[in-house]
Structure 1
Amino acid sequence: MIKTRRELFSLQRTCASFAGLAFLAGCAATHVDAPKPTGWIKDEVADSYVFGYPLVLMETARDAAVGTDPGQAPINSLRHAQALPPVGSANPPTPSIDTFDSSGWLDLSTEPVILTLPDSHGRYVDARALDMWTNVVWSTSAQIGPRANGIKEQTVAFVGPGWQGDLPKNVKRIDVPTHNAWVTVRIQSNNGRDVTAVRKLQRGMRLVPLSVYTSAARSASIAPGGNAAATAALATSGTPAAQVAALDASGFFNRLAQELRDNPPVPDDPHALKILVDLGVKPDEPVKLPDANDVISAGFADGRERVVTPPPNLLSVNGWSWFGDGVGNYGPDYALRAYAAYAQPGIGTKDDEVRATVTMDSDGHVLNGANRYVIHFAPNQLPPVRGFWTITAYTKEGALGESAPARLAVGDRNGARRNRDGSLDVVVSSVRTRAANWLPAPRTDLQLVLRLYAPKPQATDGTWQPPAVIRQ
Structure 2
Amino acid sequence: MIKNRRALFSSYWTCASFAGLALLSGCASTPTATQKSTGWIKDEVADSYVFGYPLVLMGVARDAAVGTEPGQAPLNTLRHAQALPPIGAANPRQPSLDTLDSTGWLDVASEPVIVALPDSHGRYVDARVLDMWTNVVWSTSDQFPTRAAGIKAQAIAFVGPGWKGDLPKNVKRVDVPTRNAWVSVRIQSNGTRDLSAVRKLQRAIRVAPLSVYTGEARSAASEPSRSNADASAPAGASGTPAAQVAALDANGFFSRLAQSLADNPPEPADPHALKILADLGVKPGEAVKLPVGSDAIAAGLADGHDRVVTPPTNLLMGNGWSWFGDGVGNYGPDYALRAYAAYAQPGIGTKDDEVRAVVTQDSDGHVLNGANRYVIHFAPNQLPPVRGFWSITAYTKDGALGESAPARLAVGDRNGARRNRDGSLDVTVSSTRGRSGNWLPAPRADMQLVLRLYAPKPQAADGTWQPPAVVRQ
1:269 and 1:145, CA in 2 relative to 1: closer, same or farther beyond 3 A? closer
Query: Are the counterparts in 1 of residues 126 and 139 from structure 2 also a CA contact under 8 Å?
Result: yes
Supply the distance in 2 between the matched residues of 1:299 and 1:34 (Cα, whole angstroms).
18
Query: Are the counterparts in 2 of residues 48 and 276 from structure 1 also a CA contact under 8 Å?
Result: yes
- The one-letter amino acid of 2:434's match is T
Q: CA deviation at 1:145?
A: 4.5
- The one-letter amino acid of 2:82's match is Q
- The one-letter amino acid of 1:37's match is K
What residue is the counterpart of 1:304 in the other structure? 305
Deviations 1:427-454 (A, max 9, x none): 0000122311000001110000000000
Give secondary structure in 2 for the equivalent of 1:449.
strand
1:212 and 1:468, CA in 2 relative to 1: closer, same or farther beyond 3 A? same
Supply the distance in 1 between the matched residues of 2:33 and 2:106 (Cα, whole angstroms).
51
Give secondary structure in 1 for the equivalent of 2:393.
strand
Give secondary structure in 2 for the equivalent of 1:394.
strand
Give secondary structure in 2 for the equivalent of 1:63.
helix
Give secondary structure in 2 for the equivalent of 1:102.
strand
- The one-letter amino acid of 1:410's match is V
Supply the distance in 2 between the matched residues of 1:317 and 1:192 (Cα, whole angstroms).
34
1:178 and 1:62, CA in 2 relative to 1: closer, same or farther beyond 3 A? same
Question: Superposed, which structure 2 residues align to 1:401-440 within 5 Å?
Answer: 401-440=402-441
Give secondary structure in 1 for the equivalent of 2:82.
coil
Question: Superposed, which structure 2 residues align to 1:3-42 within 5 Å?
Answer: 35=34, 37-38=36-37, 39-42=39-42
Task: Please say if 1:243 is aligned against 2:248.
Answer: no
Give secondary structure in 2 for the equivalent of 1:51.
helix
Query: Are the counterparts in 2 of residues 125 and 186 from structure 1 also a CA contact under 8 Å?
Result: yes
Q: CA deviation at 1:415?
A: 1.3
- The one-letter amino acid of 1:239's match is T
Q: CA deviation at 1:101?
A: 0.1
Supply the distance in 1 between the matched residues of 2:36 and 2:103 (Cα, whole angstroms).
47
Task: Please say if 1:369 is aligned against 2:365.
Answer: no
Give secondary structure in 2 for the equivalent of 1:120.
coil
Give secondary structure in 1 for the equivalent of 2:452.
strand
Supply the distance in 1 between the matched residues of 2:445 and 2:320 (Cα, whole angstroms).
19
Supply the distance in 1 between the matched residues of 2:178 and 2:220 (Cα, whole angstroms).
25
Identity of counterpart residues, as a percentage?
A: 81
Give secondary structure in 2 for the equivalent of 1:53.
helix
Supply the distance in 1 between the matched residues of 2:378 and 2:199 (Cα, whole angstroms).
34
Q: CA deviation at 1:72?
A: 0.4
Over alpha carbons, which structure has the higher Rg? 1
What residue is the counterpart of 1:289 in the other structure? 290
What residue is the counterpart of 2:106 in the other structure? 106
Unmatched tracts of structure 1, length 5 or more:
1-32, 222-235
Supply the distance in 2 between the matched residues of 1:113 and 1:258 (Cα, whole angstroms).
23
1:340 and 1:34, CA in 2 relative to 1: closer, same or farther beyond 3 A? closer
Query: Are the counterparts in 2 of residues 81 and 102 from structure 1 also a CA contact under 8 Å?
Result: yes
1:297 and 1:147, CA in 2 relative to 1: closer, same or farther beyond 3 A? closer
What residue is the counterpart of 1:74 in the other structure? 74
- The one-letter amino acid of 2:34's match is P
What residue is the counterpart of 1:136 in the other structure? 136
What residue is the counterpart of 1:390 in the other structure? 391
Supply the distance in 2 between the matched residues of 1:36 and 1:454 (Cα, whole angstroms).
52
- The one-letter amino acid of 2:423's match is G
Higher deviation after alignment, 116-125 or 34-43: 34-43
Query: Are the counterparts in 1 of residues 189 and 198 from structure 2 also a CA contact under 8 Å?
Result: yes
Give secondary structure in 2 for the equivalent of 1:47.
helix
Higher deviation after alignment, 368-377 or 146-155: 146-155
| TM-score, length of structure 1 as denominator length | 0.88
1:448 and 1:90, CA in 2 relative to 1: closer, same or farther beyond 3 A? farther
What residue is the counterpart of 2:332 in the other structure? 331
Query: Are the counterparts in 1 of residues 309 and 344 from structure 2 also a CA contact under 8 Å?
Result: yes
Supply the distance in 1 between the matched residues of 2:420 and 2:408 (Cα, whole angstroms).
24
Q: CA deviation at 1:220?
A: 11
| TM-score, length of structure 2 as denominator length | 0.88
Q: CA deviation at 1:315?
A: 0.4
Query: Are the counterparts in 2 of residues 76 and 104 from structure 1 also a CA contact under 8 Å?
Result: yes
Query: Are the counterparts in 1 of residues 141 and 147 from structure 2 also a CA contact under 8 Å?
Result: no
Query: Are the counterparts in 2 of residues 123 and 187 from structure 1 also a CA contact under 8 Å?
Result: yes
Supply the distance in 2 between the matched residues of 1:404 and 1:290 (Cα, whole angstroms).
52
1:383 and 1:34, CA in 2 relative to 1: closer, same or farther beyond 3 A? closer
Query: Are the counterparts in 1 of residues 211 and 217 from structure 2 also a CA contact under 8 Å?
Result: no
- The one-letter amino acid of 1:448's match is L
Query: Are the counterparts in 1 of residues 124 and 147 from structure 2 also a CA contact under 8 Å?
Result: no
Supply the distance in 2 between the matched residues of 1:153 and 1:218 (Cα, whole angstroms).
24
Supply the distance in 1 between the matched residues of 2:184 and 2:54 (Cα, whole angstroms).
17
Query: Are the counterparts in 1 of residues 128 and 139 from structure 2 also a CA contact under 8 Å?
Result: yes
What residue is the counterpart of 1:160 in the other structure? 160
Query: Are the counterparts in 1 of residues 319 and 467 from structure 2 also a CA contact under 8 Å?
Result: yes
Supply the distance in 1 between the matched residues of 2:171 and 2:369 (Cα, whole angstroms).
50
- The one-letter amino acid of 2:400's match is A
What residue is the counterpart of 2:9 in the other structure? none
Supply the distance in 2 between the matched residues of 1:88 and 1:371 (Cα, whole angstroms).
21
Supply the distance in 2 between the matched residues of 1:289 and 1:85 (Cα, whole angstroms).
43
What residue is the counterpart of 2:170 in the other structure? 170
Q: CA deviation at 1:407?
A: 4.5
Query: Are the counterparts in 2 of residues 108 and 179 from structure 1 also a CA contact under 8 Å?
Result: yes
How many residues get paired?
Answer: 426
